[in-house]
Structure 1
Amino acid sequence: MPDESEASRTTQRERQEALEAQIAQLKQEVSNLNRSLAERAKEMSERASGWYDAATDRASRATEAMRTQAHSVSEAVKENPGTISSAMLVGGLIGFILGMLMGQADGRRSRWY
């Protein structure tokens, strides 16, 4: 019987060693996966940072262009108040006339007053 007991211990020890080897291999694979994920996260972070910087730059340029245009319009209004007033008056009259014509074009003769 001692042979069976010793053979049993040997196979048990072999199983234990095989299991430990598998665990070590799995730990190595997990370590490799973690390293790979860290590299990808760094790449994505750099890419997102580049997109953010480009968007910020474009927004800054657009804001500056709008500011310049608003300043130009403001200066034109200050220099030519009569022209702007006349243009607004003409635009208002044209809108009023179009509204009257559209109101009369309707077949119904209902009045608002």
Structure 2
Amino acid sequence: MLEGSERYPLRNIILEDLFVANKLPILLLIAVVVTALGTIWLTNSTRVLVSEKNDLVLQYQALENEFRNLQLEEITQSDNTRIEAIATGKLQMKKIAPEQEVLILE
């Protein structure tokens, strides 16, 4: 065997055993690590997209509420009774009598 002062090349034996004799377990270990990292990345991406979707749904609801309020305001502003009240109150306008009407034909 080895003489008294010689040492076993333990590092070389371990590396040779890992990379020459056990290729399949090393490949499987690499595949497991890659799969785990892919799962983590995919889960994170999904969570980010769900969060963005929730933000967009909230923005949509806010815009929908604002649209409804603007529709109500438009209906209120175009109401004839309101217009008549402003015309008679602030502008001192009166309704025209039928004998004061003038019809222009071309």
TM-score bin (small chain): 0.5 to 0.7
Is the helix fraction higher in 1 or 2? Answer: 1
Q: What is the deviation of 1:45?
A: 0.8
**Secondary structure in structure 1 of the residue aligned to 2:78:** helix
Q: How does 1:1-113 map to 2 (within 5 A)?
A: 7-8=20-21, 10-67=22-79, 70-71=80-81, 80=95, 83=96, 85-86=98-99, 89-90=101-102, 92-93=103-104, 96=105, 99=106
Runs of 4+ residues deviating >3 angstroms: 72-76, 84-87
RMSD over aligned Cα, in angstroms?
Answer: 3.1
For residues 39 and 97 of structure 2, what CA distance do their matches in structure 1 show? 77
TM-aligned CA distance change 1:63 to 1:73, over 3 Å: closer
Matched residue type, 1:30 = L
TM-aligned CA distance change 1:25 to 1:73, over 3 Å: closer
Gaps spanning 5+ residues in structure 2: where? 1-15, 88-93
| Residue aligning to 1:106 | none
Q: What is the deviation of 1:7?
A: 3.5
For residues 37 and 19 of structure 1, what CA distance do their matches in structure 2 show? 27
Share of identical aligned residues, percent? Answer: 7
For residues 62 and 32 of structure 1, what CA distance do their matches in structure 2 show? 45
Deviations 1:50-96 (A, max 9, x none): 111111111111111212xx1256789xx84xx25356x41x32xx1
How high is the TM-score relative to the length of structure 1?
0.59
For residues 30 and 23 of structure 1, what CA distance do their matches in structure 2 show? 10
How high is the TM-score relative to the length of structure 2?
0.63
TM-aligned CA distance change 1:21 to 1:86, over 3 Å: farther
For residues 97 and 29 of structure 2, what CA distance do their matches in structure 1 show? 92
